[in-house]
Amino acid sequence: MTADPSPGQSATHREELEELYRQEAKMVIGLLLWLGATWELAEDVTQEAFLQAQRCWGKRDRRGAAPHPRDREDAPASRPGPTRQAAR
């Protein structure tokens, strides 16, 4: 993976992401090809996916999962959704 590291991203995070890319990129490209993407599209989508992963990499919680968007500190306050009426 050759993308520039995100500001403030530690060398450890970059190494972890590079290892993940080495392990999984071919599988992602293969899946996209199997689904009918062209080679160029499969490569582009894979690179975009790992670039997004790089942006979120340091935001993982202790379990290794990224926080849900609604749990982020900068997330807008949620509004109550529509209520469901009981079936009669």
Alpha-carbon span 30 to 43, nearest angstrom: 10
User: Mean per-residue pLDDT for 56-62?
Assistant: 65
Alpha-carbon span 39 to 2, nearest angstrom: 19
Percent of the chain with pLDDT over 70: 55
Q: What is the pLDDT of residues 9-44, one digit of tens each?
A: 677 778 888 898 999 999 999 999 999 999 999 999
Q: Is the pTM of this model over 0.85?
A: no
Cα separations in angstroms, 22 against 42, 62, 64: 16, 23, 19
Q: Where in the chain are the domains? A: 11-57
